[in-house]
Amino acid sequence: MSTIVSEFTKGLWKEIPPFRLVLGLCPVLAVTTTMENGLGMGLSATFVLVCSNVLISALRKVIPDEVRVACYIVVIATFVVCVEMITKAYFFQLSESLGLFIPLIVVNCIILGRAEAFARKNGVVKSLADGLGMGLGFTLSLTVIGIVREVFGAGKLDLLFGDTVFIAEPFDFLQQAPGAFVVLGLMLAGMNILGRIID
Amino acid sequence: MDHYFELIIAAIFINNILLAKFLGCCPFLGVSKKMDTAVGMSAAVVFVLTLAGVITWVVSRYVLVPYNISYIRTLAFILVIATLVQFVELFLRKSIPVLYKSLGIFLPLITTNCAVLGTAIINIQEDYSLLETIVFSVASAVGFGLALVLFAGIRERFEITRIPKALEGTGIGLVTAGLMALSFFAFKGMV
């Protein structure tokens, strides 16, 4: 039981993507202009990660070693197509603003990385915990970056149920492409300092 | 002719695939520590991205659209790209061993380079013709290579620079990339 809990919690702090595991940066940089987009992207990726982790771990004895990466890609792509259709049907606004980055979940290194590094060696329950932890960690990071960029870049925060809070004078740079790199770089540095203090 | 020129300039400088569209960030940070690996990766990307652009365009136009199965585009494209990369690897090893030696280790990595899948999907979304697809793919790949090689050049200097402890590694890389993106931003008014 304790191993399952620790598999889950490691994704939330010790190996939190994308800060500790510097993988899958493209969506992190591209869609985090607002909190809502960050959260939506994070949850979509979490869904794919959990499903693919569970299925790959269930099939781990069936998948031949030589073609395993191709098999993983097929499994992941199938779930991504599901997410594409679900967001188009029920969250149209979100699917418009995430655009290209929903199909690109297929090539998100975190998902393939967890399949290769974890799900193929561990049981279904453990893989579920791992996927859930990593996914929620990823969602958390994206949401926080989204909040930072929205609050300081646009000077407001759109709460999920329609209210908008105006907070600061907008600093447009953070909403644009160069700002994304700088915000992530500085947050990474912040995480390093925080990590050193806690350890 | 003007139209194609605009397409090229826009893809290389204004909407640079890496710095403005954020496609292919993993190799951007992963293989930019040394100049020669950066050049090798860029060459491999130019090669595969162009081929993949053309083949996925054909697949989409003559298979997915006529049979009305465009909804599996993502799945079909990633399979095509994965197969293509494998095939290119085999072909190069047999026929052009010199090129294979220099590109070899980068080829498998390209399957999960989102620049390749991203450009393929953009080609379809923008409804480009075959010629436009070729031009756009080549220009995007050149833009990727340009950003990667420039970044590797800057990054080599980090070795002899004192960097704040917390920013070491990826942190300073991202901030540098941000400043590079800012300078590419200056091209915005060109077209």
- Where exactly are the structural domains of chain A? 2-198
Q: What is the mean pLDDT of residues A33-43?
A: 91
Which pTM does this prediction carry? 0.89
Q: What is the mean pLDDT of residues B34-60?
A: 89
Query: Would residue B164 count as lying in a domain?
Result: yes
The per-residue pLDDT for range B15-36, each reduced to its tens digit, is 888 888 888 887 888 778 888 8
pLDDT at residue A163, as a whole number: 73
The domain tally of chain B equals 1
pLDDT at residue A1, as a whole number: 67
Does residue B29 sit at the A interface (CB-CB below 8 Å)? yes
pLDDT at residue B104, as a whole number: 63
Contacts of B177 in chain A (CB under 8 A): 181, 185
Residue B131 banded pLDDT, cuts 50, 70, 90? very high
**Closest-CA residue of chain A to B163:** A189
- Of the candidates A22, A26, A81, the beta carbon closest to that of B170 is on A22
Residue B170 banded pLDDT, cuts 50, 70, 90? confident
pLDDT at residue A47, as a whole number: 95
pLDDT at residue B21, as a whole number: 87
Query: Would residue B2 count as lying in a domain?
Result: no
Q: What is the mean pLDDT of residues A144-157?
A: 88
pLDDT at residue A135, as a whole number: 93
Residue A52 banded pLDDT, cuts 50, 70, 90? very high
Q: Which domain holds residue B104?
A: 10-189
Whether residues B78 and A77 touch (CB distance < 8 A) is answered with yes
Query: Would residue B4 count as lying in a domain?
Result: no
**Averaged pLDDT of chain A:** 88
Residue A198 banded pLDDT, cuts 50, 70, 90? confident
> What string of DSSP letters covers chain A?
-HHHHHHHHHTTTTT-TTTTS---HHHHHHSTTSHHHHHHHHHHHHHHHHHHHHHHHHTTTTS-GGGHHHHHHHHHHHHHHHHHHHHHHH-HHHHHHHGGGTGGGGG-HHHHHHIIIIITTS-HHHHHHHHHHHHHHHHHHHHHHHHHHIIIIISEEE-TTS-EEE-S---GGGGSHHHHHHHHHHHHHHHHHHHHHH-
Query: Would residue B161 count as lying in a domain?
Result: yes
Does residue B134 sit at the A interface (CB-CB below 8 Å)? no
Query: Would residue B32 count as lying in a domain?
Result: yes
Q: Give residue B150's identity as a one-letter amino acid code.
A: L
Residue B110 banded pLDDT, cuts 50, 70, 90? confident
Residue A182 banded pLDDT, cuts 50, 70, 90? very high
Residue B171 banded pLDDT, cuts 50, 70, 90? confident
pLDDT at residue B105, as a whole number: 67
Whether residues A81 and B72 touch (CB distance < 8 A) is answered with yes
Beta bridge partners of A158: A164
Query: Would residue B18 count as lying in a domain?
Result: yes
Whether residues B111 and A73 touch (CB distance < 8 A) is answered with yes
Q: What is the mean pLDDT of residues B65-78?
A: 90
Whether residues B112 and A81 touch (CB distance < 8 A) is answered with no
